[in-house]
Amino acid sequence: MRWLIVLLLAASAQTAVADVTLRVCYNYGCLQEAEVRYNDRQLALVGAFLAAAGDAADERDRLALVIGWLLGWAGEQSAIAADRGGNVADDGVDGRMDCIDHALTTTRLLRMLDDHRWLRFHEVREPVLRTRYLFADHFSAQIAERSAAATPDGVAATARLHVVDSWFHDNGQPAVVMSLPEWLAGGGEVESAVPSLIAGMPAFGP
């Protein structure tokens, strides 16, 4: 619990953050949308938690949990609380989310974080698509490291791309964050290990 006390103290010391409203997609293909509101306390906690990231890898671990918090808080105000990982466990349920709903909503959440300048090591990209087994299309939100990896000649640079995929788990659970090549190869389909940073951490309340 020590980490929670430290985080609360850090959040209370921050400059007040104005409430934010954002639309979340659900019922497949963004067929329906609901407007949700994040209050100043929730946003201050998110900002303090992300501000503690020491490098890009640390920020990605923190983003996995933050996206879970934001979707969980959205579920307290909308039908997406019923969303379950994948497209089977919640089939036909109001509030279900497919990969399009998740990719669009998570991208909006990431842009909100970036607008507050809380993403110091990454920039937000457009959602990315993978196609496996002919018709198995799957979308995800995408980020890129701001500091690119230099090539051997020391001149050119390539951005390292990662996905932030909230579709695999139930509403409020940490998102899957992994490198784009790993995801394109089918990563995320099997339960992935929870980063040590967030293992055992409870979800925040409103």
DSSP per-residue letters across 80-137: GGG--STTTTTTT-TT---HHHHHHHHHHHHHHHHHTT--SSEEEEEEEEEEETTTEE
2/5 Cα distance (integer angstroms) = 5
Number of residues that make up the chain = 206
Q: What is the structure's pLDDT at 153?
A: 58
8 Å CB contact between 62 and 52: yes
Residues of the chain where predicted confidence (pLDDT) is lower than 70: 1-15, 133-135, 148-158, 189-206
Interval 159-168: pLDDT, tens: 799 999 999 9
pLDDT at residue 199, as a whole number? 47
- pLDDT tens digit sequence for 106-116: 999 999 999 99
Given a contact cutoff of 8 angstroms between Cβ atoms, the answer to whether 51 and 78 are in contact is no
pLDDT of residue 117: 97
**DSSP string for residues in 159-203:** PPEEEEE-SSS-TTSPPEEEEHHHHHTTTTSSPPPPPTTTTTPPP
End-to-end CA distance of the chain: 18
Give me the pLDDT at residue 17, please: 81
74, 33 Cβ separation under 8 angstroms = no
